[in-house]
Amino acid sequence: MASADSDTQPTEAIPHAVKIIVAGGFGAGKTTLVSSVSEIAPLSTEELMTEASYGVDDLGGIEDKTTTTVALDFGRITISDDIVLYLFGTPGQDRFWFMWEELAEGALGSVILADTRRLDTCFHAVDFFERRNLPFVVAVNRFEGATAYSEEEVREALDVSASVPVVMADARERMSSKEVLVELVSHVLRSRQAALSG
């Protein structure tokens, strides 16, 4: 460590910090995916939210604003000296919706993890990213005991456009999670090129 008087002069390259959002319903495997592909054990911080949750939670007569703690888990992948990629899982419960805005701000894109046993739990995520024009892919996380649906069936059920990739995945497997991220970034690049040439 430098002496107390000297200025700290960082000698290493300072990277760009970029992020990808991993969204999906509660229990869809977001943290599993982040863990399997992150170079570190996922870090966790929490955000204190002061929000009137009237109409969302049944607070039965509590009229004051309440402070809620929202856990925020994230992983990290060092791409190069110049770029560090962060993977943020969205808070699973719908009532933490308001945190998504900040998470989505400046994100490269999003992975929406779908559980075919409860596809409806990712409708919100699809709507959210469509409205913000943030590119996303749908990754169908294979759960044991879940009926195997085809990509087309999932696409139809979620009503996503033909350009949105729908891929099968196993969030527990590092290589599978990696492929999902590769699919997303390829999709983002294709979308950009289409936008530029169109």
Cβ 145 to other proteins shortest distance, Å? 30
Burial of 107: CB neighbours in 10 Å, binned 0-12, 13-18, 19+: buried
Beta bridge partners of 141: 169
Residue 69 found at the interface with other proteins (CB under 8 A): yes
- Side by side, the strands of the sheet bearing 16-24 are 43-51, 66-78, 83-89, 16-24, 109-114, 136-141, 166-169
Give the interface size with other proteins as a residue count (CB under 8 A): 51
Query: What are the helix (H) ranges across the chain?
Result: 30-37, 99-104, 123-131, 151-158, 174-197
Residue 65 found at the interface with other proteins (CB under 8 A): yes
Question: Please, which residue, 1 or 162, has the CB nearer to other proteins?
Answer: 1
Return the residue of 44, 93, 150, 163 that touches other proteins, per CB under 8 A: 44
Residue 197 found at the interface with other proteins (CB under 8 A): no
Using CB under 8 A as the criterion, which residues of the chain lie in contact with other proteins when the complex forms?
Answer: 1-4, 7-8, 10, 12-19, 37, 43-50, 65, 67, 69, 72, 74, 76-77, 79-80, 82-83, 85-86, 102-103, 105-106, 108, 174, 178, 181-182, 185-186, 188-189, 192
